[in-house]
Chains A and B, each alone.
Chain A
Amino acid sequence: MSTDTTTPAPTPAPASGRPARTGGLAGRIDWGKWFTRAVLLWLFAPVAAMVAFSFNDISGRQNVSWQGFTFKWYGQAFAYEDLNHALFNTVAIGLLTMLIAGGIGSLLGLALGRYRFHGQGTTNLVMFAAISAPEVVMGASLLSLFLTMSISTGFVTILIAHVMFTISFVAITVRARVMTLDPKLEEAARDLGAGVWTTFRLVTLPMLLPAIMAGALLALALSVDDFIITTFVSGETSTFPLWIWGSTRAGIPPQVNVMGTLTFSVGVLLAIGNIVLARRRR
């Protein structure tokens, strides 16, 4: 950080990365810190509302005002049959997307990072377009395709769409990792008599695995969250976001907030696990 410079500032601020230039103003307010905290508060406000209203003791479906604390919605989390179906679809499509897009995207990322081939520029261009194309355009054009081909929309078409829009994200994540790999390691494996496949399985794949996992998880997250593209290609099939959307007019039942809170808790647990792991490594 600031060890090898001859900064006139007396002492480098601990862990700040920048020398403390204003030694006499130790008590000054750190505006950046408070600004960042305010932004985080903004981001968490709706989530806090969601968690609070999952404990709201209401009668009927209008969950808009606070009427007392209860755990009962957690006991009745699966009371809506169609919500359970929607949730199941979301999880199933998410996991299948993770597998298919993870596989196809990783191969693409590997090829893009490792080889030079005909059509590479076009591939990059298409991926770039697939990432930056608006969701409404992708959804609408897919619906046009399914309509012209007389393919009925449902579970399979949602899956097709989700794999389509997540492939590029996986490929980019894997490509970034491939480009940082040292080709000498693979050469060494080959010098030691490993074949192409063995080299890949024992040397390349283990090194790529974190990126493949990251890409696949990204695909899962994007799939579970997607609403716009799914609306267009879902037909009669519902997913968790679609169900929430459909229930807004009638009033969102507390079960939705319960499930939202549960998925959020999964995120919190993952985050805590990550922090603990990082601490331990240090």
Chain B
Amino acid sequence: MRTRRAPYFLVLPAWIWLAIFFVVPICGMLSVSTMSGNVIDGFRNTLAVGNYAEAVATYWPQLLRSLFYGFCATALCIAVGYPVAYWVSFNGGAHKSTYLLLLLLPFFVPQVLRTINWKFTLADDGVLFGTVKDLGMLPEGFHVLSTALAVICGLAYNFLPFMVLPIYAVLERVDHRVVEAAYDLYATRVQAFVRVVLPISLPGVFAGVLMVFVPTSADYVSASVLGGTHTTMIGNIIRTQYLVNNSYPLAAAITFVLMAILLIGIFSYARALGTEQVMEVQAK
């Protein structure tokens, strides 16, 4: 009887904490999202579904832009992160752990501070472009800041390790003899990669996509610091509606729309691949 009850004692604190501060708030937000009223007269629940209509009608450009930026940042992370994970795992040799540490080291500096300094680096008169400009190698009116490119690069910059680490974790488990066997069977480097290494590493890529796409498409730090008025993301809107305008019902409705899109995406994605597999890679 003891052992049968033991797991419940172990999980109880976590259950309580996650139920009260994660599950209940998200369900509660559903009720806030259908309230009407304002911050002075108070809010009443009138089952105002109109908030959703307003949220989608007003902010669909920011929603789509966020998903697009998230997509681009994720693609950039794969493009940059996969070769790094591949090279470190296969050719890193004795320095593997050093490379991984170097990859994580910048993240000891808070994200906000890193993004702000990244902005200084990218600034028109900054270290990078200022120098190139002085050499007369850039056209007049050239700038990177306040463009979509700056925001996407900022997002990719901030979330790159979340792509590299899962891919690395999977590549580390690849039995090198399998690759050698492919060479023995006269596979070229490209064939060995495409037909042997790539399929094995896909779960890592999937986990990385999840770890990068969701946070990037809901992020607002990069968009605020590196972007301009044309690069506002849905996170910026949610923040403003909640903390500046105090229009909680509308803000909750926008949040819910965003979460619905992401969660439906995540769960169909996880179901197609198996939740366990995705989570197992994350743990590494």
* A interface, CB within 8 angstroms of B: 1-2, 4-9, 14-19, 21, 30, 32-33, 35-36, 39-40, 42-47, 49-50, 53, 64-65, 103-105, 107-108, 110-112, 114-117, 119, 123-138, 140-145, 147-148, 160-161, 163-164, 167-168, 171-173, 175-176, 196, 221, 224-225, 227-228, 231-232, 240-241, 244-245, 248, 252, 256-257, 260, 263-264, 266-268, 271, 274-275, 278
Contact in complex: A241, B157 (CB < 8 Å): no
Contact in complex: B32, A172 (CB < 8 Å): no
Within 8 A of A (CB), among B230-284: 235, 238-239, 242-243, 248, 251-252, 255, 258-259, 262-263, 266, 270, 275-276, 278-280, 282-284
Contact in complex: A196, B180 (CB < 8 Å): no
What chain A residues lie within 8 Å of B116 (beta carbons)? 244, 248, 252
What chain A residues lie within 8 Å of B107 (beta carbons)? 221, 225, 267
Contact in complex: B103, A141 (CB < 8 Å): no
Contact in complex: B29, A140 (CB < 8 Å): yes
- Say how far A100's CB is from chain B's closest CB, in angstroms: 9
Q: How large is the interface on B (under 10, 10 to 19, 20 to 34, 35 or more residues)?
A: 35 or more
Alpha-carbon separation in the docked complex, A133 to B282 (Å): 14
Alpha-carbon separation in the docked complex, A67 to B116 (Å): 19
Question: Which of A43, A124, A131, A173 sits near B106, CB closer than 8 Å?
Answer: A43
Answer yes or no: B221 CB below 8 A from chain A CBs. Answer: yes
Answer yes or no: B138 CB below 8 A from chain A CBs. Answer: no
Answer yes or no: B139 CB below 8 A from chain A CBs. Answer: no
* B interface, CB within 8 angstroms of A: 2-3, 6-8, 10-11, 13-15, 17-18, 21-26, 28-29, 32, 80, 83-84, 86-88, 90-91, 93-94, 97-99, 101-118, 120-121, 123, 125, 127-128, 157, 160, 176-177, 179-181, 183-184, 189, 210-211, 214-215, 217-221, 225, 235, 238-239, 242-243, 248, 251-252, 255, 258-259, 262-263, 266, 270, 275-276, 278-280, 282-284
The tally of CB-CB contacts under 8 A between chains A and B is 291
Contact in complex: B283, A42 (CB < 8 Å): no
Among residues of B, the one whose C-beta sits closest to the C-beta of A111 is B10
- Say how far B206's CB is from chain A's closest CB, in angstroms: 12
What chain B residues lie within 8 Å of A257 (beta carbons)? 113
Question: Which of A15, A104, A142, A241 sits near B111, CB closer than 8 Å?
Answer: A241
Contact in complex: A135, B218 (CB < 8 Å): yes
Contact in complex: B183, A225 (CB < 8 Å): no
Alpha-carbon separation in the docked complex, A119 to B284 (Å): 24
Among residues of B, the one whose C-beta sits closest to the C-beta of A247 is B116
- Say how far A64's CB is from chain B's closest CB, in angstroms: 7
Contact in complex: A36, B25 (CB < 8 Å): no
Contact in complex: A42, B7 (CB < 8 Å): no
Contact in complex: A173, B218 (CB < 8 Å): no
Knowing A137-B259, A228-B220, the reply to whether A104 touches B180 (Cβ < 8 A) is no
User: What are 15 A-B contacts defined by CB distance under 8 Å?
Assistant: A6-B184, A14-B93, A36-B99, A46-B120, A50-B114, A105-B14, A114-B7, A115-B7, A130-B18, A136-B218, A136-B258, A232-B242, A241-B111, A263-B108, A275-B98
What chain A residues lie within 8 Å of B255 (beta carbons)? 136-137, 140-141
